Amino acid sequence: MANPTAAIIVIGDEILSGRTKDRNIGWLAEQLGSQGIMLREARVIPDIREVIIETVQLLSAAHDLVFTSGGIGPTHDDHPEAEARLIAHYEGTDIEFNAARQKMADIPEGAALIDNPLSAAPGYILGNVHVFAGVPSILQAMFEGLRDQLPGGVAMTRLTVQCAIGEGTIATIMEAVQTAHEGVSIGSYPWFKPGQFGTAAVVSGLDPHITMAAAEALAAGVRDLGAAAEIMPLGEGGGV
Amino acid sequence: MANPTAAIIVIGDEILSGRTKDRNIGWLAEQLGSQGIMLREARVIPDIREVIIETVQLLSAAHDLVFTSGGIGPTHDDHPEAEARLIAHYEGTDIEFNAARQKMADIPEGAALIDNPLSAAPGYILGNVHVFAGVPSILQAMFEGLRDQLPGGVAMTRLTVQCAIGEGTIATIMEAVQTAHEGVSIGSYPWFKPGQFGTAAVVSGLDPHITMAAAEALAAGVRDLGAAAEIMPLGEGGGV
């Protein structure tokens, strides 16, 4: 069975204006990858109702899962359970549960709520669209609570072949190795430090054996050129 | 005259896999904003030829300017000047200018080159599309060299009204102030610290006088509720 695919939609003028730096795409990308969910695209769009609707509809049809971040605070656009949770939350404070705060319970009918352990206003799931808060700590807490319910996939095997040689010198080897190993893709990331340079080649594939064989073939090819090459799990290795 | 609009396209499997965290969208968003160029959307897309072509064509038609990041290293898809620059660059080293490195000169006919002061492989401009490297330091150097050639616009005036009151309490005031001041938009960003909370309301508009009047109206409304409010340039102010 093919791994599920996903798209991320970040809703927020504050990201497009440069005022706030997005941290949700990178964090979610990592989590999805480790679950075997293939993130196919991410979009940052403005707080314009029509653009939000159009983008959600388009990506929801194109991918198995959609995750949105932003757009569920009190200043935006009644779900009885959401309202009940908010009332209970504000009862414990001296903050009035006024009309603007009631808007946080504006959740489409038929939606399932996503727990917000940090500040009560819940996210929700409608069809394959998962609506999260924009604040990274809240988004992360929401995702953690939801993780086990997400359709899983085979996690990609990813290996780094750390090569003490320039990217341009091994481009043809990488291409040949990729062609010879079905389902494997190789990305290459040149790096430079004072007096040193090299290439981290990331070999990825769903089949761990074929992926390892590809990494070994690449390392052998690099060593044939007289340069050092070392295979390691993704994320390790200096210089990168 | 309306300010020019722009879109950013980040090309890279390594961003979608979570391996690398994108830093180009945030940096470019800030630069474009300070030039008066309105960033309307940003997309992160995979290294798939058809997706790249389709996305570039779509956004190039929809916006005045498009900026892409990634996809111009030696492992990707002859521009005589680009080739000459690369030959000159490699002549000073003991690195061979081989077929893979020659690919870095694969630049469409009719394109104008963008200087790369860091590693010679140039970016290029074709129509309204500006093709930058993906490495942040190189992208930034390329953008700096190009900045004066970009069509300018009226830089947005952005003011922060720092309010010692919750977002939900002033949502209706913000809405009323926004409606009463043409061309002004107000974004609100609640913040929390131990024992304290408040809202930073960011008031933005192209007309500095109307924008300031809106900020003053908002601050007055907050003070009417008995809470402190202070107007300051965007980016200043504690707690945000």
Nearest CB partner across the interface for B98, out of A43, A96, A169: A169
3 state DSSP class of A198: strand
The reported pLDDT for the residue numbered B240 is 35
Burial class (CB in 10 A: 0-12, 13-18, 19+), B183: exposed
Cα separation, B185 vs B203, in Å, equals 6
Helix count (H) and strand count (E) of chain B? 8, 10
Cα–Cα separations (whole angstroms), residue A11 to A52, A69, A73, A215, B138: 7, 6, 12, 39, 28
Torsion-angle region of A184 (φ positive above 0: left; ψ -120 to 50: alpha; else: beta): beta
Convert the pLDDT of each residue in B149-160 to its tens digit: 888 777 778 899
Nearest CB partner across the interface for A33, out of B17, B41, B188: B17
Instruction: Judge if ipTM > 0.95.
Output: no
The reported pLDDT for the residue numbered A109 is 77
Query: Could you say which residues of chain A have pLDDT below 70?
Result: 1, 72-84, 86-87, 92, 103-105, 235-240
In chain A, the N- to C-terminal Cα span, in Å, equals 33
Nearest to A169 by CA among B92, B103, B122: B103
pLDDT exceeds 50 at position B74: yes
User: Three-state secondary structure along A111-144?
Assistant: CEEECCCCCCCCEEEECCEEEECCCHHHHHHHHH
Residue numbers in A near B18 (CB within 8 A) = 26-34, 39
Residue B231 near residue B161 (C-beta atoms within 8 A)? yes
Span B13-32, mean pLDDT? 92
Convert the pLDDT of each residue in B87-113 to its tens digit: 677 777 777 777 777 766 677 777 888
Q: Which domains does chain A possess?
A: 5-149 (3.40.980.10), 157-233 (3.30.70.260)
pLDDT exceeds 80 at position B76: no
Mean pLDDT of chain B: 85
Residue numbers in A near B188 (CB within 8 A) = 73, 75
H or E segment to which residue A52 belongs: helix A49-62
Nearest to A172 by CA among A224, A209, A211: A224
Beta carbons of A29 and B13 less than 8 Å apart = no
